[in-house]
C-alpha cells in the first residue's frame, strides 16, 4: 500500500529485491499474513507465523460476544488483606487453544477488570501469544499455560467465561482446503477428527465444573455444524442460549450455560 501511495518514489535495489521475494512467496500461495509477519484482529496488530492459525474475521464476533458478557458482570467488591484497601473482583475467562492469543488478548484489552487464562498444547504457539500479549501491554493479566485444554490448568479454577475456536475441519476434508490453509496453518489447529466435532464433545463433557454459577461457554464452529453441536451440548444437559450468525449469515458461534 505504501508503494502504491508513493508510486513516484524510486526504489533501491535492496527494496526491489525484497519486494520481488515477497511477490514470489505469495505466488507460491504462502499467506500474505505470514509474508508480512502479522495480521489485524479486532483492531490489534498480532504477530503470526506457521505455528499459529491466522485469525479469521468471524472470530472477531466471538471475541466481541465474550468481552460484552464479561463487561456486563456485576461483581461485588471484596476487602484485601489490608484493612484500608478495597479491591474489586476480577472477572475470569479461559481461552482454550489460544494459538496467536487473539481471543485472550482481545478480551484483556476490552475488559480491563478481567483476568484471562489461555491454554495451548503447542509451546511454539504460546511463544507467539506471549509476544502478542506483551506488544499490547496485557501480559500481566493473561496466564499462558501449556497443555491439552483443561489438563493445562495447574490448579483447580472456575471461570465466568470459557471461550475457544476449536479445530473443526473433518480429517478427510483437510486435503481439500485452500493451499494457504492446508499447507501453512498448523494441522493441530485444523483437524477436528472424523466429523470435525471431537473437541466439542470433549468441551461439552468436561467444562461444567470449570464454570462459575452464571458462567457461559462461547465457541466458534464450522459451516453446517450448528445442529450437531447443539445436540452434543444438549445431550450433556447444557442450555443453548443462542447460535450467532457470522457476517455471511451462517451459524457460527454457540453460546451455552450449564
Going by C-alpha positions, the residue among 254, 218, 214 that lies closest to residue 73 is: 214
CA quadruple 186, 191, 192, 196: dihedral sign: positive
* Predicted local confidence at residue 129, as pLDDT: 98
* Cα 14 to Cα 20, 26, 37, 81, distances in angstroms: 10, 19, 19, 60
Domain edges within the chain: 51-80+87-257
* Predicted local confidence at residue 24, as pLDDT: 80
pTM value is 0.88
Strands (E), the chain: 38-41, 44-47, 77-79, 86-88, 91-96, 114-120, 142-146, 159-164, 211-220, 239-245, 251-257
Three-state SS at 139: helix
d(CA 40, CA 133): 14
DSSP-derived secondary structure letter, 58: H
Three-state SS at 203: helix
DSSP-derived secondary structure letter, 115: E
β pairing state of 159-164 and 211-220: parallel
Q: What crossing angle do the helices spanning 102-110 and 123-135 adopt, rounded to 10°?
A: 30
Q: What CA dihedral angle connects 127, 131, 133 and 136, to 10 degrees?
A: -170
Q: Which CATH architecture group holds 51-80+87-257?
A: 3-Layer(aba) Sandwich (3.40)
Say which residue the cell 508513493 belongs to. Answer: 6
* Predicted local confidence at residue 76, as pLDDT: 54
Kindly give, in sequence order, each residue whose CB lies less than 8 Å from that of residue 183, ignoring residues fewer than 6 positions away: 29
* Predicted local confidence at residue 154, as pLDDT: 80
Tens digits of pLDDT across the chain (258 residues) = 676 777 777 878 787 777 788 788 788 888 889 898 899 999 999 999 999 999 999 999 999 999 999 999 976 544 444 444 444 467 999 999 999 999 999 999 999 989 999 999 999 999 999 999 999 999 999 999 999 999 999 888 899 999 999 999 999 999 999 999 999 999 999 999 999 999 999 999 999 999 999 999 999 999 999 999 999 999 999 999 999 999 999 999 999 998
d(CA 166, CA 182): 16
d(CA 185, CA 178): 10
Amino acid at each position: 500500500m505504501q508503494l502504491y501511495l508513493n508510486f513516484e518514489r524510486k526504489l533501491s535495489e535492496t527494496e526491489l529485491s525484497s519486494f520481488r521475494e515477497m511477490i514470489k512467496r505469495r505466488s507460491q500461495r504462502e499467506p500474505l499474513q505470514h509474508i508480512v509477519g502479522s495480521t489485524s484482529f479486532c483492531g490489534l496488530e498480532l504477530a503470526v507465523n506457521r505455528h499459529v492459525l491466522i485469525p479469521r474475521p468471524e472470530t472477531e464476533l466471538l471475541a466481541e460476544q465474550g468481552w460484552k458478557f464479561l463487561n456486563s458482570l456485576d461483581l461485588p467488591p471484596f476487602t484485601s488483606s489490608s484493612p484500608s484497601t478495597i479491591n474489586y473482583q476480577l472477572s475470569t475467562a479461559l481461552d482454550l487453544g489460544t494459538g496467536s492469543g487473539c481471543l485472550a488478548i482481545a478480551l484483556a484489552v476490552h475488559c480491563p477488570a478481567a483476568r484471562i487464562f489461555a491454554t495451548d498444547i503447542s509451546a511454539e504457539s504460546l511463544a507467539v501469544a506471549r509476544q502478542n500479549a506483551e506488544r499490547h501491554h496485557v501480559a500481566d493479566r493473561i496466564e499462558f499455560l501449556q497443555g491439552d485444554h483443561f489438563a493445562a490448568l495447574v490448579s483447580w479454577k472456575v471461570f465466568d467465561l470459557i471461550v475457544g475456536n476449536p479445530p473443526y475441519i473433518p480429517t478427510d476434508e483437510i486435503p481439500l482446503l485452500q493451499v494457504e490453509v492446508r499447507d501453512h496453518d498448523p494441522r493441530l489447529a485444523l483437524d477436528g477428527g472424523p466429523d470435525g466435532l471431537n473437541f466439542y464433545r470433549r468441551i461439552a463433557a468436561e467444562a461444567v465444573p470449570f464454570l462459575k454459577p452464571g458462567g457461559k461457554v462461547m465457541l466458534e464452529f464450522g459451516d453446517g455444524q450448528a445442529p450437531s453441536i447443539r445436540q452434543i451440548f444438549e445431550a450433556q444437559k447444557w442450555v443453548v442460549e443462542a447460535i450467532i450468525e457470522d457476517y455471511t449469515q451462517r451459524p457460527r458461534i454457540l453460546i451455552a450455560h450449564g
